[in-house]
């Protein structure tokens, strides 16, 4: 019999849809997949080649648990130059990005502590909090998807320990402004809360500018920044990212890493080391998504859906007027239009759904009108 703790943890929100999609593909159906949460392009050839050469030269062994020193140093330099966060290598832990959120929470919260999460939110956040014996507490964003400080104030209790934010935001594509981030930091400091800032989409911004909470000097000691290489460099399968935090948190998180992963994959770390020198690939990936973003927005404007025009990441999060729940709507789209989207309820927003434009322009041109047809039929 499995642990009772697992009763609180949800499976992937899209498991049954993925299973059904697999059945339809086997039956020969052409599917338009807007559900994917990763770049559809392959890791740049130069990064693959250099990592392969490193593997052939024997760099296939355990590394220091916190990461190879030269990568930690280069990440620290990147954080100074791009994020304006004044850190050194000892403030960096190399680890898969999603796992770093687990490490941060395990280090910061005690059983029963509450974590504030602005809504809509990345689907895994509530369960990551629960896995670490915390309680997720949600605070709705405003109509423009800014973090609503009044809603945070209404949600806070004596048990609140941290705020977990994502910027740019999955699923909405919102890029939080410096003003909104500073307001949130002020709220956190007033209430002696930690902030965990997930910045995995930081290089995929079309409108606005990235601003990191930890760049505010008085906030650094209470902030954990997590990011990585999955989205910016199309390196999802390499499973490598990092967390940046005060040395005490990094040392504590490293203890957990030593007793779980041991270290991030050695070859992935060397690939990441090379990736940090490859600004051209980052620029190309961002420009590719921006072109698709503009196409998706233009096509959605021809539908009856309402949506916030994404400023970053590669998602748009339309809402619709109907009493059909988002999971049922997504399944109906799959069954009747051969279109895959992700239902909005697991992101904290029923009667919405997420479209990922990490797919071909042909699929966008053919698939978005089918989405429009379906929602017109049920409105």
Give residue for tokens 């895959």.
340
Structural domains in the chain plus CATH codes: 4-43+280-378 (3.90.1150.10), 61-277 (3.40.640.10)
The predicted structure's pLDDT at residue 309 = 98
Section 48-53 average pLDDT: 96
Question: Would you say residue 22 has pLDDT above 90?
Answer: no
User: Which one is predicted more confidently, 36 or 162?
Assistant: 162
The predicted structure's pLDDT at residue 13 = 67
CA distance 127 to 379: 32
> What does residue 9 show for φ and ψ, rounded to 5 degrees?
-100, 130
Sign of CA dihedral 186, 189, 190, 195: positive
Section 9-27 average pLDDT: 75
Q: Which residues, listed in sequence order, are joined to residue 243 by a DSSP beta bridge?
A: 93, 226
pLDDT in tens, 122-180: 999 999 999 999 999 999 999 999 999 999 999 999 999 999 999 999 999 999 999 99
Question: Would you say residue 14 has pLDDT above 70?
Answer: no
Chain Cα centroid distance, residue 5: 25
The predicted structure's pLDDT at residue 6 = 77
Cβ-in-10-Å burial (0-12, 13-18, 19+) of 89 comes to middle
Residue 269's closest CA among 98, 95, 97? Answer: 95
pLDDT in tens, 223-251: 999 999 999 999 999 999 999 999 999 99
User: Which one is predicted more confidently, 13 or 103?
Assistant: 103
- pLDDT band at residue 16, thresholds of 50, 70 and 90? low
pLDDT in tens, 98-129: 999 999 999 999 999 999 999 999 999 999 99
The predicted structure's pLDDT at residue 3 = 79
Question: Would you say residue 15 has pLDDT above 80?
Answer: no
Average pLDDT for the chain: 95
């Amino acid at each position: 019999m499995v642990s009772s703790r697992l009763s609180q943890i949800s499976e992937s929100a899209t498991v049954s849809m993925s299973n059904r999609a697999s059945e339809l593909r086997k039956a020969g159906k052409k599917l338009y997949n807007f559900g994917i949460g990763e770049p559809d392009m392959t890791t740049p050839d130069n990064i693959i080649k250099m990592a392969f050469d490193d593997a052939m030269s024997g760099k296939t062994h355990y590394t220091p648990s916190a990461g190879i020193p030269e990568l930690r140093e280069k990440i620290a330099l990147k954080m100074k130059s791009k994020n304006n966060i004044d850190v050194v290598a000892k403030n960096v832990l190399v680890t898969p990005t999603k796992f770093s959120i687990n490490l941060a929470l395990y280090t910061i919260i005690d059983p029963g502590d509450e974590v504030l999460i602005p809504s809509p939110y990345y689907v895994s956040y509530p369960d990551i909090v629960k896995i670490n014996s915390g309680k997720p507490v949600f605070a709705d964003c405003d109509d423009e998807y800014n973090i609503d400080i009044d809603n945070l104030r209404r949600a806070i209790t004596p048990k609140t320990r941290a705020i977990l934010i994502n910027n740019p935001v999955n699923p909405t594509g919102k890029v939080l402004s410096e003003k909104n981030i500073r307001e949130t930091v002020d709220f956190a400091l007033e209430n002696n809360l930690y902030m965990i800032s997930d910045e995995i989409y930081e290089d995929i911004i079309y409108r606005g500018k990235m601003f990191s909470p930890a760049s505010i000097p008085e906030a650094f000691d209470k902030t954990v920044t997590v990011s990585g290489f999955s989205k910016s460099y199309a390196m999802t399968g390499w499973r490598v990212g990092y967390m940046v935090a005060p040395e005490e948190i990094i040392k504590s998180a490293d203890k957990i890493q030593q007793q779980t992963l041991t270290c991030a994959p050695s070859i992935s770390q060397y690939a990441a080391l090379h990736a940090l020198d490859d600004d051209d690939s980052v620029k190309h990936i961002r420009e590719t998504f921006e072109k698709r973003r503009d196409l998706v927005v233009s096509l959605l404007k021809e539908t009856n859906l309402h949506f916030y025009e994404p400023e970053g990441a590669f998602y748009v999060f339309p809402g619709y007027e109907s009493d059909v729940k988002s999971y049922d709507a997504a399944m109906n789209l799959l069954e009747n239009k051969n279109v895959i989207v992700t239902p909005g309820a697991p992101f904290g927003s029923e009667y919405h759904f997420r479209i990922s434009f990490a797919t071909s322009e042909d699929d966008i041109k053919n698939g978005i009108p089918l989405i429009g047809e379906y929602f017109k039929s049920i409105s």
